[in-house]
Amino acid sequence: MYGDPATVRKILTELGDTWAIVGLSSNPGRAAHGVAAVLQRFGKRIVPVHPKAETVHGEPGYPSLSAIPFPVDVVDVFVNSSLAGAVADEAVAIGAKAVWFQLDVIDEDACTRTRAAGLDMVMDRCPAIELNSPHLR
């Protein structure tokens, strides 16, 4: 299992409400777009991170995590598994508290590095699904 219930709950309810969403664009057909909307409904501040640095759901975008000029609590990763490790490393470098790899995003080495750096980590799960689950309420 890539995210025990206690870690999922901690990330969603205790670690802060600023979520950088890597891979979030203005394309409403992409999963990141819908998940970002759910996170906003649950009171999270979303920060789009995409090379195009587009404004999404009313929030300005940034081309990278390091370009964000304020603290980020959680980094939610919507990129291919082959790219996810570098994103996790950047999350550690900017001082994030947790990294969340979305469904089908798995990188065991990145998970090990991220946890060794003291961050909480979840892989292959979706916060929009978890926020709506009865065990979280």
| CA dist., res. 75 & res. 88, Å (int) | 8
Query: Domain of 132?
Result: 5-136
What residues are paired with 22 via a beta bridge?
49, 77
Tell me the CATH number at 75: 3.40.50.720
Residue pair 80/106 in contact by the 8 Å Cβ criterion: no
Q: Based on the structure, what is the number of domains in the chain?
A: 1
Measured distance CA(132)–CA(43) in Å, rounded: 13
Tens digits of residue pLDDT in 40-77: 999 999 999 999 999 999 999 999 999 999 999 999 99
Rounded mean pLDDT, 5-26: 95
Q: Is the model's pLDDT at 137 over the cut of 70? A: no
